[in-house]
Amino acid sequence: MENQELEILFQQKIDREEKIEPKDWMPEAYRKHLIRQISQHAHSEVIGMQPEGNWITRAPSLRSKVVLLAKIQDEAGHGLYLYSAAETLGVTRDEMLNALHEERAKYSSIFNYPTLTWADIGAVGWLVDGAAIVNQVSLQRTSYGPYSRGMVRICKEESFHQRQGYEIMAHMAQGTPEQKAMAQDALNRFWWPSLMMFGPHDSDSAHSAKAMRWKIKRETNDELRQKFVDKTVQQVEVIGLTIPDPELKWNEEKGHYDFGEINWDEFYNVISGNGPCNKQRLSHHKKAHDNGAWVREAAEAYARKKQKSVAA
Ligand SMILES: [Fe+2]
Ligand SMILES: [Fe+2]
């Protein structure tokens, strides 16, 4: 069959809500789009461990330390599911990591902000994982089978992450005036970068239209951002904090909250490598990767040895 015919059948399959599987025919642009999106997602899970790892040794109690450790381990697992999902599209783990290290691949800009206080760990779990959930719940219905199934599992773990963060914030907001101020300060610093996680406005988003037609994305950046704002406002009120946005207001007619404009200069500045921690995040990742070389070599040697004994 000609490519054009194949492409029509491919689109019909998507329109029937059937999943595309690794061995199915797919347009090259669909494959490329997915590799970019899934590897970017995987990198975000893994780089996202750094700002939180910063606080493992300084967690204020044994309980909070155990919870934080479990949460960060989950994120490593999410990275692994996603790298595996991307590998089904014909790209190798090495290629993806090289792209990250050579700054050809991106990860979520939120992880280029520092975690300065314990309250920041609360804000990250609550807002950053909270924003990620909104996106990932939607991606459970993405058209590519392995990505969709990975998301189902990831979402189950994300709701625990969101609650661990909210619990920290709730405790601090009900603590001493200093603790409450610390919680408010963390909310002030993480609110806008969390809204940036959904990406540019739909009108400025280069890849959006195609991704929607192929049902890689099921909802647009602006729709997802609105959902996040709507569900978070009440959570903020319950613990007595304030969202740092004077324009935030319930819009009766729309049935949604109106909110202020994001500082897009900051967004593009951080995305292009000039955020407060970009250099630190990348060099730490490279170092950890290099330090782990002996583990990969040992695993390969063991696999060869096992293969030989099976053959014998
Ligand atoms: Fe995650
Ligand atoms: Fe998470």
C-alpha 188 to ligand 2 mean position (Å): 20
| pLDDT attached to residue 206 | 73
Please say whether the dihedral angle defined by the alpha carbons of residues 92, 32, 103 and 118, taken in this order, is positive or negative.
Answer: negative
* Residue whose C-alpha is closest to residue 39's, from 150, 133, 170: 150
Average pLDDT, 10 consecutive residues per value, the chain (312 residues): 90 97 96 96 97 95 96 97 98 97 95 97 97 96 97 93 96 97 98 96 83 93 97 96 98 97 96 94 97 96 94 86
pLDDT at site 186: 98
The confidence score (pLDDT) of residue 312 equals 85
Residues with CB under 5 A from ligand 1 (ion): 45, 75, 78
pLDDT at 111: 97
Query: In sequence order, what DSSP letters do the residues of 11-60 get, joined into one string?
Result: HHHHHTTPPB-TTS---HHHHHHHHHHHHHHHHHHHHTHHHHHTTGGG-S
- How far does the centroid of ligand 2 lie from the alpha carbon of residue 129, in Å? 5
How far, in Å, from the CA of 79 to the mean position of ligand 1?
Answer: 7
End-to-end Cα separation, the chain, in angstroms? 45
CA of 154 to the centre of ligand 1 (A): 6
Q: What's the confidence (pLDDT) of residue 209?
A: 83
Whole-number Å distance, alpha carbon 26 to ligand 2 midpoint, is: 30
Q: pTM for this structure?
A: 0.94
DSSP 256: E
Round to whole Å and give the CA distance between 261 and 296.
46
Q: What is the DSSP letter of 144?
A: B
Q: Do 59 and 112 touch, CB atoms closer than 8 A?
A: no
- Contact between 153 and 81 (Cβ < 8 Å): yes
Gap from CA of 148 to ligand 2 centroid (Å)? 17
